[in-house]
Structure 1
Amino acid sequence: MAKVWKWSVVIFLLTGLLLHHEEDMMNAMMETPYLVFDLVTTVILSACLWGGFLNIIEKTGFMNYLSFLLKPLLRLIYGPILDQENVYAYLSSNVVANLLGLGSLATLSGIKAFQRLNELNRLSNRPSREMLTLVIVNTAGLCLFPSSLIMLRKQMGSTDIYAFYPYMLLIAVTIIIIGLIVQRVIDHE
């Protein structure tokens, strides 16, 4: 991949020079650091804002309410492993954080859930069904409020910042369903 990137840059620079777009190339190189700084600032501030909301949700006990509402769905997806100590708490907080669009914060509870599932795994040479399920659900990126993506689209001047939303939901749900079916078929469960 590094070779593809390197040769792409060389080809683009040569093409720009041959077509006499030196000024456009120089302007793009000068504007890029400012664009990157704005994007990074937006993402960091968004994570801080939504991290604060997540802390409020946890401190007020609303997380317990959301977890209670999700328990039947989680039991359907993960099975009886939810009865184990701390597994339900980690999995439910991971799912709630993902649904609220707090992907970077969901990573922490996802890692804790994965570690706990790994402790309960009887097969040390391969991941358990629940561990694979956690990876599939997190990789799909199902999110009811994709705050970071909305903020980035707004910052980049999108005329319809929510245009992606139905497609995102459809794709995420489809990935979860197909992923879980394939995983269950492969595991013969």
Structure 2
Amino acid sequence: MDIIWLFMIALALIFGLVSGKVDLINQVVINIGKDTFDFVLPLICMTCFWNGMLNVAKEAGLLKKLERLFSPLLRWLFPDIKEDKETLGYIAANITVNLFGLGSAATPVGLKAMNGMQKHNPDPKTATRSMVTFLVLNTAGVTVLSTTLIALRASFHSQDVTGFMPFAILSTFFASFVGLTIDRWWNHHGDR
């Protein structure tokens, strides 16, 4: 992938030099730091805020309540860790954070969930059934409120900040359904 990006950058520079657009190249090089900062700062602030909220939720016992709420579904999806309430709590928190479209804020909780699943792994070099299911669920998870996308669209002054929401809900629901269906089928028929 690095070679592809390097090729694309070199091709763009050569095209800019050949077509006489050196001023445009200079402008991009000068403004790239500011543009990157303006793009990343709102995401960093939102991630810090929601990570703090997750810590408050954990201390308040909300993660345990979420684990109890999602318990029937989680015990069915993750049968080899169904007795590990802490890991199930992290999985429930990850699902909840992903429901609100905070993928970057879900990462720390997802890593804790993976570490919890690794404790039950007989072969540390191979992913367990639960790890694969969690990865499918985390990657294709249903998003009800895409707060990260809303924040990005608002920062770029979109005319209709939430116009994409019905499509996002539908597509993430469909992706989750297909992903979990294939995962369930593979878990029951893949070993044969």
TM-score > 0.5 by shorter chain: yes
Where do residues 168-183 of structure 1 align in structure 2 (5 Å cutoff)?
Answer: 168-183=168-183
Shift of 1:138: 0.9
Shift of 1:36: 0.5
* Greater alpha carbon shift after TM alignment, 83-92 vs 34-43: 83-92
Query: Taking every aligned residue pair, what percent have the same amino acid on both sides?
Result: 30
Give ranges in structure 1 of 5+ residues lacking alignment: none
Does the 8 Å CA contact 1:46/1:147 hold for their aligned counterparts?
no
> Could you tell me the TM-score, scaled by structure 2's length?
0.81
- 2:69 aligns to what? 69
- Could you say what the CA RMSD is over the residues aligned between the two structures, in angstroms? 2.5
Where do residues 1-189 of structure 1 align in structure 2 (5 Å cutoff)?
Answer: 1-79=1-79, 81-122=81-122, 126-188=126-188
Amino acid at match of 1:127: A
Partner SS, residue 78 of structure 2: helix
Shift of 1:35: 0.7
Displacement over 6 Å in runs of 4+: none
Amino acid at match of 2:187: D
Does the 8 Å CA contact 1:51/1:102 hold for their aligned counterparts?
no
Residues 1:124 and 1:22: Cα distance change in structure 2 (over 3 Å): closer
Does the 8 Å CA contact 1:51/1:105 hold for their aligned counterparts?
yes
> Could you tell me the TM-score, scaled by structure 1's length?
0.82
Partner SS, residue 26 of structure 2: helix
What is the alpha-carbon distance in structure 1 between the residues aligned to residue 40 and residue 128 of structure 2?
A: 36
What is the alpha-carbon distance in structure 1 between the residues aligned to residue 87 and residue 8 of structure 2?
A: 46
Partner SS, residue 14 of structure 1: helix
Residues 1:114 and 1:55: Cα distance change in structure 2 (over 3 Å): closer
Partner SS, residue 185 of structure 2: helix
Does the 8 Å CA contact 2:100/2:146 hold for their aligned counterparts?
yes
Shift of 1:186: 2.2
What is the alpha-carbon distance in structure 1 between the residues aligned to residue 84 and residue 69 of structure 2?
A: 18
Shift of 1:58: 3.4
What is the alpha-carbon distance in structure 2 between the residues aligned to residue 60 and residue 115 of structure 1?
A: 22
Amino acid at match of 1:186: W
> How many residues are matched?
189
